[in-house]
A and B are shown apart, each in its own frame.
Chain A
Amino acid sequence: MSRMSCEQIDELAGAYALGAVDADEDRSVSEHLASCDQPHAEVRDLIGAGTALTAGVLDVDPSPGLRDRLMATVAETPQEHQPQAVAAATPVAPDTEPRRPRWRMQPVAMGIAAVILLLVIGLGAWGLNLNAQLAERDAALRAVASADAAFAVEGTAGSGWVIESGDVAHFVAEGLAEPPEGQIYELWLMDADGNPTAVGTIEDPDDLVVVALEQDLGNATTFAVTAEPQRVDAPTSDPVLVASLEG
C-alpha cells in the first residue's frame, strides 16, 4: 500500500482505533503515526476505545472447570521468551515426581527390532529412487544396525526416530513437511530442567532425512525440532517434532 496522507490517517481514526482496518492499512497507519511529525491527536485519542466498549459488557461467570482446563494447558505450554521449564520458575510445593520437560509428548517405547522393521519397510518404499539416496540409506542402516535405543519422534511436521548407537545419535525421518518459507529446522536436546542445546539443522529436508546429532544424548530427556529463521541458541517457537528420551 502506498504511503497514506495525513488526511487519510485522520479519516481512518475510528476504524484504526477499533482494529477495523485490514492488515495492510493497519500497518500503513501504524508506520505513518510512528514517523509523522504531525500530532494526529484525534487518532491517538481514540486508540484504546475498545476498552470503553468492553466496559459496557456485563460479566458472565465461566464454567467451574474452565480455570482448571486453562491451568492444565498452561502447565504444558512453553512461553515464547523462555522455552525452559515452567516448573523451574514457578514456586510450587516440592514433590518427589521427576520434573517433566515441557515439550514432553507421549513417550513411545519401541523395541529395536520394531524400529528395524519399520525402517526396512520404509526403505522398500524408497527403492524407486534409492540410487540418489545411497549415502543416506547407508547412514540410516548403520545407525539402526548398531542401535542401542530408539525413540519415536512425532509432531505436526511428520514423524521419525532418534536412534542412539553408543555415543552417537541420529535423527531419521521420511517425508517431513517442508519448513515454512525462509526457515530451517533446528534440532534440540533438552535436559530435565528444559535447558535446550542445539544439535543440528535441516535446511531443505529430502524425502529421507538422516542427521547425525552434534552430541550424544547424554542426560537429555527430550528431543525436539523447531522451525527457525536461522540457527539460534534457544528455540523461539513451539516444536514441530518432539520425542521423549525417557523410559
Chain B
Amino acid sequence: MTDDRELDARLAERIRGGQAQALGELYDRYAGTALAVALRVVADRSEAEDVVHDAFVAVWKKIDRFDAGRGSLRAWLLTVVRNRAIDRVRVRRTTVDVDDADERSLLRTGPNPTWEDALQRTSAADVRVAVAALPDEQRRALELAYFEGYTYREVAEVTGVAAGTAAGRLRLGLGKLRDSLAGSAGAPLPAVEATTLSEDVGR
C-alpha cells in the first residue's frame, strides 16, 4: 500500500469514527482535484462546487460502505464526484439513481496495482500526453464515457457506430493508455478488432 493510500485509509477510519475534522483533511487533500473533475463535466464553476460539496457529504454519510482494503478512497471520492456531476448534466437521458451509482462504483475503485504503480511513476503531464496520443476515436470514446457520463451504447449513438464498436474502442483505448503509462511493463492486450466483437454485445 502506498503512503497516500495508507494516509487515506487512516482518514477513512477517522471519518468512520465520526470525526468531521478528518473529512476536512480529506477535503484539503482532494478538493482541487474533485473540483477539476466536476468542472470537466458540468463546465460551470458554481454548479461544480455544489457537486464537490455534495460528494464530500456523500462520502461522510456512506463511509461505512468503503473498505480501504479493497479500494482507494481517492478513487472512490472522485467517482462519487463524477456520478453527481453526470447526474446534473444527464437531462437528456434517463435519470440514474446516484446513490445506486455510488454503491456500484465501490466495486470499481481498485485497488489495482496496474494503474496505481503506473501513476506513482508518472506525472499528470505524462498522463495528458498519453491520453492525447490515443487514436482520436478511442480518446473521444473515453472522454464521452468517463467525463460526460455516456454509456457505451450512448457513445455509439453519438459517434455513429455500432454499440460493439464503441465498447471495443473503450477497451482498446484503456488498454493502450495502460500500456503507455506502464511502459513496457504492461501485458499487451489481445489483438481484438472492434468489428469482431460479439454480436450479442450492444443489443
Contact = CB atoms under 8 A, between A and B. Distances in A.
Interface string A64-82: 0011011101110111111
A49 B177 contact: yes
B9 interface: no
Nearest to B167: A15
A48 B61 contact: no
B36 interface: yes
Contacts of B107: 30, 47
Contacts of A180: none
Given A20-B146, A73-B57, A52 B19 contact: no
A89 interface: yes
B60 A79 contact: yes
Contacts of A129: none
Given A89-B17, A91-B19, A66 B31 contact: yes
A22 interface: yes
Nearest to A27: B104
Given A18-B145, A51-B75, A67-B31, A62 B52 contact: yes
B53 A15 contact: no
A61 B8 CA distance: 20
A146 to B, nearest CB: 40
Contacts of B128: 56
Dominant SS among interface residues on chain B: helix
Interface stretch (A5-13, A163-171, A219-227): A5-13
B173 A14 contact: yes
Nearest to A41: B187
B177 to A, nearest CB: 6
A157 interface: no
Interface string B105-143: 101111110111011001010011011000000000010
Interface of B: 16-21, 23-24, 27-28, 31-33, 35-37, 39-40, 49, 52-53, 56-57, 60-65, 72, 74-75, 78-79, 82-83, 96-97, 100-101, 104-105, 107-112, 114-116, 118-119, 122, 124, 127-128, 130-131, 142, 145-147, 150-153, 155, 164, 166-175, 177-178, 181, 187, 189-190, 192, 197-198, 200-201
